[in-house]
Amino acid sequence: MDYNNFSMTFSFPFSLNFKFSKLIKYLIVITIFNTLASPILLTKKAVRSINSGISCNDLDLTVQIIDIKFLDGNRYYRLVISDGDDYAPCLAGASIQHNFSSGEIIQDQVIKIKEFSFKNILGHPILVIEDLEPDIIANSIIGNPAKFQFSFEKNIN
């Protein structure tokens, strides 16, 4: 595409028309292309893989945080993560609490799980995310996830 001959005019309901400079046109085209060309990819079956005992070294675990709730009485964050197919509750580990309290990570954010563990709380296995890497923020929940319950299959402390 020849960006030098690219023309774009925007019309507004209040009769204001203007033309963008070549650099602005180029940035708009690149932004639109990148948005369309790079869909948000979550790791398929990540929630089930975590339950089956996979480690973060075996698979890049990219999930979306679809809910965040600060439980003041217990001083921790309860999260709900989704891989687009399944969702499950989990907790934010002590080492990543600051990511949530500072607002660095918000609802609908995509994250890469770097380290996790399981804790036995009142006879139920609870996933605890110990380390993560923030990724992009989606506009809404990705996919149509169904509730998944972790079991005592592997690695429960």
Residues 53 and 26 in one domain: no
Using alpha carbons only, what angle is made at residue 42 by residues 40 and 47, rounded to the nearest 5 degrees? 160
Q: Is the pLDDT of residue 17 over 60?
A: no
Task: Mark whether 71 and 140 lie in a shared domain.
Answer: yes
Q: Are residues 88 and 19 in the same domain?
A: no
Check residue 156 and report its DSSP letter: B
pLDDT tens, residue by residue, 30-52? 565 555 544 678 999 999 988 88
Mark whether 57 and 117 lie in a shared domain.
yes
In this structure, the answer to whether residues 11 and 71 fall within a common structural domain is no
Report the percentage of the chain scoring pLDDT > 70: 71
Do residues 9 and 60 both lie within one domain? no
**Do 73 and 9 fall into the same domain?**
no
Question: Is 152 part of a structural domain of the chain?
Answer: no
Nearest to 112 by CA among 77, 64, 53: 64
Tens digits of per-residue pLDDT, 104-132? Answer: 999 999 999 999 999 988 888 899 999 99
Q: Is residue 154 part of a domain?
A: no
Burial of 72 by CB count in 10 Å (0-12 exposed, 13-18 middle, 19+ buried)? exposed
Same domain, 83 and 13: no
Do residue 18 and residue 69 come from a single domain? no
Same domain? 76 vs 115:
yes
The domain of 11 spans: 3-37
Q: Is residue 153 part of a domain?
A: no
* DSSP H/E element including 30: helix 22-37
DSSP annotation of 41 reads -
Binned at pLDDT 50, 70 and 90, residue 77 comes out as very high
> Do 141 and 99 sit in the same domain of this protein?
yes
